Amino acid sequence: MPHRERYLFVCTNRRDEKDPRGSCAAKGSEDVVKGLKAALVARGAMKVVRACSSSCLDLCEEGIAIVQEPDHVAYANVTLADVEELADAVVAGTVVARLVAHPKASG
């Protein structure tokens, strides 16, 4: 499989429920990955965009966290309800501004 044009790295890190940092898996990120994969298949975009599970992205308190590359944009507080909009954006080569926690640093 060739290198894709874009990637969505979805944190699926899981911590103990007592850990104050929380974790994305505990908030449902595994279902978000599945939803994104299905949404990309539905758009015929599997050869240009890949959704992957990731370890911690250091946005734990703001999880569910996703990083979109090569745009280098971090999404936070993502829910399953955001999956279709995220898929539309990544296929179009854009971002979902309302979910952006940390835009690409300029310079």
**Residue ranges in contact with ligand FES by CB under 6 A:** 11, 13, 23-24, 56-60, 63, 65
Pairing verdict, β 6-11 and 49-54 = parallel
Could you tell me the smallest distance in angstroms from the CB atom of residue 9 to ligand FES?
10
Measuring CA to CA, which residue among 33, 29, 18 is closest to residue 77?
Answer: 29
Could you tell me the smallest distance in angstroms from the CB atom of residue 16 to ligand FES?
12
**Chain Cα centroid distance, residue 27:** 13
- Whether the CB-CB separation of 96 and 86 falls below 8 Å is answered with yes
The nearer residue to ligand FES, 13 or 68, going by C-beta atoms, is 13
Could you tell me the smallest distance in angstroms from the CB atom of residue 54 to ligand FES?
8
The nearer residue to ligand FES, 45 or 67, going by C-beta atoms, is 67
The nearer residue to ligand FES, 65 or 73, going by C-beta atoms, is 65
The nearer residue to ligand FES, 65 or 96, going by C-beta atoms, is 65
Measuring CA to CA, which residue among 8, 15, 19 is closest to residue 83?
Answer: 8
**DSSP at 47:** T
